[in-house]
Amino acid sequence: MKILLVHNFYGSATPSGENQVFETEKSLLLQHGHEVCEFTRHSDEIRAQGAWGKLKGALSTPWNFWSAAAIKQVVDEYKPNVVHVHNTFPLLSPAIFYAIGNRTARALTLHNYRLFCPAAIPMREGKVCTDCLDQQSAWPAIQHGCYRDSRIATLPLALNVALHRTLGTWREQVDAFIVLTEFQRTTMTTAGLPAEKVYIKPNYYPGDPMVVPWHERGNYAVFAGRLSAEKGVTTLVKAWLAWGANAPELRIIGDGPLRSELEKASSGMPIHFFGQLPPDETIRHIANARLQLLPSEWFEGFPMVVREAFAVGTPSAVTNLGPLPSIVNDGINGVVFEAANPQSLLKIVRDAWQKLGLLEQLGAGARKSFETLYNEDVNYACLMGIYEAAMKRKMV
C-alpha cells in the first residue's frame, strides 16, 4: 500500500505526544512493507519569525492556499492509496482535504478536540468546559478568549471551527476519522462528526519491553508530564504533602510553568523533580516504579504515559475524568480517584500502596492490557481495517 502521511509538527522545544505518534506509526507501516511518503510542516518555521510568524500562523489556520496547492501536487505525483493526516494546525489547514479531493482515501486522526474546540483542550479557568462542543458554535471561545487567554489569538481558531462547520468539511471531505477512545468518539459525534465515519484506534507501545520484577522495583511513585494546571500536578503535590514525611518517594518528571512554585511547596518532603528527561530515561523511571500517577483535570486523548506504564507492567492511578476511567479499569490495571480532589487522591493511592500485594497484582493487569489491547500487532490490524474502510467509502 502507498500511504502519504501528513503532519504539522509542533515546536521542537516542547515534547509532543502527537509528534511521537506520527513517528511511531510511520515506523510501523514501514516495518510491514508499505511505501510511505511524508508531507510535513514545522511550527518552528513561524516561531523563529517573531510577530510576523504569529500573524502568518493565524492567517494559515483556517485556509492555507500554499499548503493546498503543494499537497495537490504531491498526491498527483505519488498517487497514494491513503492520505493519513495527523495535525493541520497551524500551517497546513483543512484546505488540504479539498485539494486532495476524491482521488484517494482521506483519514484524519483526532489527537485532541480542535475540530470543534478552538483551544483544543476543553477547559476554561481550570475546569472542564464543553460549551463550544455542546452548542456547536465557536462563539463561547471568542467570548472567553480560550486560546492563550486572548480573544485575538482565539479568533483564527474560532474562524477555523466555524468555517469548516459551515462548509461541511467534516461531513464531506474526510473518509475516516480515527479517535483514541470510546469517550472521544461519543463526544465528537455528539458535537457533529458523522458517526459512521468515526473509528476507535488507541495509541500503542512499540516492541515488547522487559517487565522489571516487583521485588527489584524502587519504593516510589512517578508522575511524567507537563507541570501545568490541566495536568493536575498541584493536586498531586497537595495530596503528597498531606500524606506527610512517611509518604513514599514521588518522582516528578517534566517541566512547565508550575515547576518553581511546586518545588518550593515540596521542600523537605520526599518529592523530587527531575525536569525534562529523554524518553528512554522517563520509561526507565516508570518501569522501576510501583505506581504511575496521572491526576489530569481535563479531557485527555490517550496519554502516552499510560500506554508506556501498561507495556512495562506498572499500574496507573488516574482521575475519573473523560476517557481515563475506561482506559484504566479500577481494581484491574490501576486505581481511579476523583479529579481535582487531593483528599480522594490521597485516600485511594495510600490505600492501594498499603494493601499487601495489590500494586503487584494491578501491575500484572496493566501488562495484560498491553498484551491484549495496546501492542503493535493489534494496533496495526486496526489501522489497516480503518484504511480499508476509508478506501471503500471513497469508491462509493
Question: What are residue 80's phi and psi, to 5 degrees?
Answer: -75, 155
Position 322 scores a pLDDT of: 94
Position 59 scores a pLDDT of: 80
Q: pTM here?
A: 0.92
What's the N-to-C CA distance of the chain in angstroms?
A: 20
| Sequence-ordered list of residues with C-beta below 8 angstroms from that of 100, at least 6 positions apart, any chain | 71, 72, 75, 83, 106
Position 15 scores a pLDDT of: 62
What residue type is assigned to position 231 of the chain? K
Q: What is the pLDDT along the chain (396 residues), one digit of tens a residue?
A: 999 999 999 877 666 789 989 999 999 999 999 999 999 999 888 777 777 667 777 788 999 999 999 999 999 999 999 999 999 999 999 999 999 999 999 999 999 999 999 999 898 988 899 999 999 999 999 999 999 899 999 999 999 999 999 999 999 999 999 999 999 999 999 999 999 999 999 999 999 999 999 999 999 999 999 999 999 999 999 999 999 999 999 999 999 999 999 999 999 999 999 999 999 999 999 999 999 999 999 999 899 999 999 999 999 999 999 999 999 999 999 999 999 999 999 999 999 999 999 999 999 999 999 999 999 999 999 999 999 999 999 876
For 369-383, b/e burial (b = at least 16 CB within 10 A) is bbeeebbbebbbebb
Position 396 scores a pLDDT of: 62
Position 84 scores a pLDDT of: 98
Q: Which domains does the chain have, with CATH numbers?
A: 2-204+376-395 (3.40.50.2000), 214-373 (3.40.50.2000)
Stated length of the chain: 396
Position 54 scores a pLDDT of: 77
